[in-house]
Amino acid sequence: MTGKGPRKAVDGGHAPARLLQGREFHESARSLITLAQSESYNPAVTLMVTAAIAYSDAITAKARGIVNQHDHQGAPRLLREVLGNRLPDKQEKFFRKLLGRKDEVNYGARSTTLEEAQRLLAELDDFAAWAEGHV
């Protein structure tokens, strides 16, 4: 598997466990946004990124018994490798966009507005519904 990015073999229980984690991170992000009591919604976006990674791991674990490891930017590549044309371009584009926000929301000075967070959450809802159909 050289040249394909870091990955790890996982057992059969990994997919349902990661799916559950994805749902939990997703709902935690939704709670922060629903409360609408923050000046910055970076923590909610961090949870959304983590949820999307967990959903992706659940799919690749179920389909091939492998997950992406360490290099989160490589997760969409592994998802494409595993699903091929069954990965809609819309979902891949969203996943890449969300992962692109990871460093910004964790280490940057820019704050995510409530409106931005709400838009991302709606897109994550769509991504999650799609992912649930593949696990």
pLDDT digits (tens, 9 = 90+) for 41-57: 999 999 999 999 999 99
Task: Identify the pLDDT of residue 1.
Answer: 39
Residues 6+ apart with CB under 8 A from 101: 45, 49, 112, 120
Q: Mean per-residue pLDDT for 73-81?
A: 95
CA-CA-CA-CA dihedral for 22, 25, 29, 31, to nearest 10: 110
Write down the pTM of the prediction: 0.94
Q: Which domains does the chain have, with CATH numbers?
A: 9-132 (1.20.120.330)
Q: What is the SS3 assignment for 41?
A: coil
46: closest CA among 104, 97, 126? 104
In the DSSP assignment, the letter for residue 68 is E
Residue 3 has pLDDT above 70, yes or no: no
Q: How far apart are CA 120 and CA 118, in angstroms?
A: 5
pLDDT over 90, % of the chain: 92
Kind and range of the H or E element at 22? helix 14-35
